[in-house]
Amino acid sequence: MQRVIFNQKGGVGKSSITCNLAAISAAQGYKTLVIDLDVQGNSSFYLGIDTYSPDNRSTLDGTIAGLLKQSTGRWLSQKKKSIDFVRETPFENLHVIPSSPGLDDIEKELENRYKIYKLRDALQELDEDFDRVYIDTPPNYNFYSKSALIGANHVVVPFDCDSFSKQALYNLIDNIVELQEDHNKELIIEGIVVNQYNSQARFPQELIKELREEEMPVLDSFLSSSVKMKESHHAQKPLVHFAPSHKLSRQFFELYCELEGLEVESESNSMKTKITA
């Protein structure tokens, strides 16, 4: 199972949602992999991997840039298995193929050489090693996010309850449907997850009502806003580990259960025991 978290709008919660859902999955006992396709490297950092320090900046080893680069030219002769690019994180069962600054440098080259299916090949190779793969994407409908949407079989779209975001959602869903039709008939659009929801304010409720009336697939689980999220980034610890009994962690469990088709109550209780342990 590969789930890509995508919205071309910046700052809507893609990296936060990717890492927290993946952390829950790992804590539930599933061997879980996060692939960080965003050159900003936020998911890699959040999960305790530093490919951006002056010492590491230029290396492609053990990064998604290295994995994709080896589909080109002379690199082909030294091709490694996809699993060789996977790194452990401090969290049990949770692994990552991190981003690196090199992703930007090789994007055009990969695009010009028609390497859009290479991530899909890697995901197929990794399928036997991991129960769940979560893919964080850049805030662009570019080569990397398209590669992820072509390679994965599930997609979740974070939405930040903003009017401009709502306008962009129509285009975004159209793009995904078109790509699904042309390249990936297996892709399931699981839905739109509302992030930074303020239940006290009328405006977000109205926006969500409008989306539902237009038959946009809004998920039932909402994520509220909390400063704990930023604190957990700083601590390089997914919120569900950093503050396991926080309301927002509970909402992440509910979202996880909704996506996995699980009963919320029993699963979130057992989750809590595992996470606090």
Ligand X SMILES: Nc1ncnc2c1ncn2[C@@H]1O[C@H](COP(=O)(O)OP(=O)(O)OP(=O)(O)O)[C@@H](O)[C@H]1O
Q: Which residues bind ligand X (CB under 6 A)?
A: 10-16, 38, 40, 42, 139, 195-196, 223, 225-226, 229-230, 233, 248
Indicate which of Mg ion, ligand X, none lies near residue 16 (CB less than 5 to 8 Å, by partner kind): ligand X
Nearer to ligand X, 13 or 98 (CB): 13
| Structural Rg of the chain based on CA atoms | 18
Find the DSSP H helices in the chain.
14-27, 42-46, 64-69, 102-112, 118-126, 143-151, 163-183, 202-213, 228-234, 239-242, 247-260, 264-276
> Which CB atom, from 106 or from 223, has the smaller least distance to ligand X?
223
> Residue 230 binds which entry of Mg ion, ligand X, none, with Cβ cut-offs from 5 to 8 Å by kind?
ligand X
For residue 178, the minimal CB distance to ligand X (Å) is 22
Taken as a whole, the chain contains a residue count of 277
In the bound state with ligand X, the residue whose beta carbon lies nearer, of 70 and 207, is 207
Q: Which is nearer to Mg ion, 56 or 139 (CB)?
A: 139
Kindly report the backbone phi and psi dihedral angles of residue 140, in degrees, each rounded to the nearest multiple of 5, phi listed first.
-155, 150
Min dist CB 192 to ligand X, Å, is 13
Given the complex with ligand X, which of 10 and 217 has the nearer CB atom? Answer: 10
Shortest Å, Cβ 94 to ligand X: 17
Token duo for residue 232:
């957990």
Task: Give me the least distance between CB of 136 and ligand X, in Å please.
Answer: 7
What does 233 bind: Mg ion, ligand X, none (CB cut-off 5 to 8 Å by kind)?
ligand X
Question: Which of the listed partners (Mg ion, ligand X, none) does 10 bind, with a CB threshold of 5 to 8 Å by partner kind?
Answer: ligand X
Q: How far is the CB of 142 from Mg ion (least distance, A)?
A: 14
At its nearest, how many Å lie between ligand X and the CB of residue 196?
5
Of 80, 59, 55, 62, the residue nearest 70 (C-alpha) = 80
- Min CB(116)–Mg ion separation in Å: 21
What, of ligand X, Mg ion, none, does residue 195 touch, CB below 5 to 8 Å by kind? ligand X
- Rounded Cα gap, residues 116 and 161, in angstroms: 32
Rounded to whole angstroms, the Cα distance separating 154 from 233 reads 25
Residue type, 26: A
What residues contact 51, with CB distance under 8 A and at least 6 apart?
41, 44, 57, 59, 62, 63, 98, 99, 100, 101
Residue 223 binding target from ligand X, Mg ion, none, CB below 5 to 8 Å by type: ligand X
Binding interface with Mg ion (CB under 5 A): 14-15, 42
Cβ closer to ligand X: 82 or 100?
100
User: How far, in Å, are 105, 226, 275 from residue 248 at the CA level?
Assistant: 37, 7, 14
Strand pairing report for 154-159 and 188-194: parallel
How big, in percent rounded to 5, are the helix, strand and coil portions of the chain?
A: 50, 15, 40
225 binding partner (options ligand X, Mg ion, none; Cβ < 5 to 8 Å by kind): ligand X
Is the Cβ of residue 82 or residue 107 nearer to ligand X in the bound state?
107
Return the amino acid letter for 124: Q
